[in-house]
């Protein structure tokens, strides 16, 4: 094998090892909205949505790396043609729907400030 090819493969191997090491040892820090999202969850508010819903996708995207903390319930069946029993029981008619434990709800896309007002959770400064 030529010297140039050996050097090329050594560099590739080092990059792969470095990338794998970084993935293992570098942990992502908390998201900017973790406390806000946790407050929403702790308040008992539930976010009902569907995987195919662009409004739901944009809503999740607003929360960035904190989205995994959302109290999200998937309402669509995997084929996208029906609704899950929990969402039928809650009479969810549109997505996204945010519902409080008392049954009051808001539907559609909302700003973080509107969600803060609805949930009584404070947005971080």
What's 96's DSSP letter? S
Domains and CATH numbers, the chain: 34-119 (3.40.30.10)
Q: pTM to 2 decimals? A: 0.75
The full length of the chain comes to 125
pLDDT band of residue 66 (cuts 50, 70, 90) is: very high
Contact of 36 with 122, CB cutoff 8 Å: yes
Q: What whole-number percentage of the chain has pLDDT above 70? A: 86
Rounded to whole angstroms, the Cα distance separating 114 from 47 reads 14
């Amino acid at each position: 094998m030529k010297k140039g090819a050996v050097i090329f493969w050594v560099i590739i191997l080092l990059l792969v090892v470095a990338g794998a090491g970084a993935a293992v040892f570098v942990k992502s820090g908390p998201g900017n909205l973790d406390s806000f999202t946790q407050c929403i969850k702790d308040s008992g508010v539930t976010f009902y949505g569907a995987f195919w819903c662009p409004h739901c996708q944009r809503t999740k995207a607003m929360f960035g790396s904190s989205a995994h903390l959302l109290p999200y319930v998937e309402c669509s069946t995997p084929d996208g043609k029906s609704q899950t029993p929990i969402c039928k029981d809650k009479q969810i008619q549109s997505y996204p729907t945010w519902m409080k434990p008392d049954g009051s709800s808001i539907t559609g896309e909302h700003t973080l400030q509107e969600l803060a007002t609805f949930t009584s959770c404070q947005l971080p400064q």
